[in-house]
Amino acid sequence: MSAEPTPRPNRLTAAAAVSGVEGVVLAGYGVYLLVMGLLGSPESPTQAEMGGLTLIALGALPLIAARGLLMRKPWARGPALITHLMALIPAWTLLRAESQALIPVGIAVAVVAVAGLVLVVSRETTEALGIRPPGRGD
């Protein structure tokens, strides 16, 4: 007789959703750059193509983390944390941009990154993933 699995906590689901959104945005922008490099007329087609391929590859990390979080895999927390921390770098850059139009984008990226960090390190998420807090040697 198997016990019914406990329902997935809302914070874990939200953490997976935030990671998934980050992955889709990164990969989507990577596809855009790749297509523009191939079909458009950028200053440096090679740079646009390589940037696109890099972003597509980087987009895979949060997508894999999102799937792992949904499946309650403890290893997924690391890639999710890395992705959210890395998102703070472009957020900071956009917030310091000279163009006023980029500041709201920087704010949005920062909000998503911080929300993702808070969700991934929350007690509810940590417990759902079976990760013990430091100092508790069972």
Nearest residue to 123 (alpha-carbon basis) of 6, 15, 7, 17? 15
* Side chain identity at residue 10, one-letter code: N
pLDDT of residue 137: 58
- The C-alpha atoms of residue 135 and residue 133 are separated, in whole angstroms, by 6
113 burial type by CB count under 10 A (0-12 exposed, 13-18 middle, 19+ buried): buried
Per-10-residue mean pLDDT for the chain, 138 residues long? 72 96 95 91 88 95 97 95 95 92 94 97 93 70
- Which token pair is 104? 């709201």
3-state class percentages of the chain: helix first, strand second, coil last, to nearest 5: 75, 0, 25
pTM of the model: 0.86
- The C-alpha atoms of residue 77 and residue 57 are separated, in whole angstroms, by 19
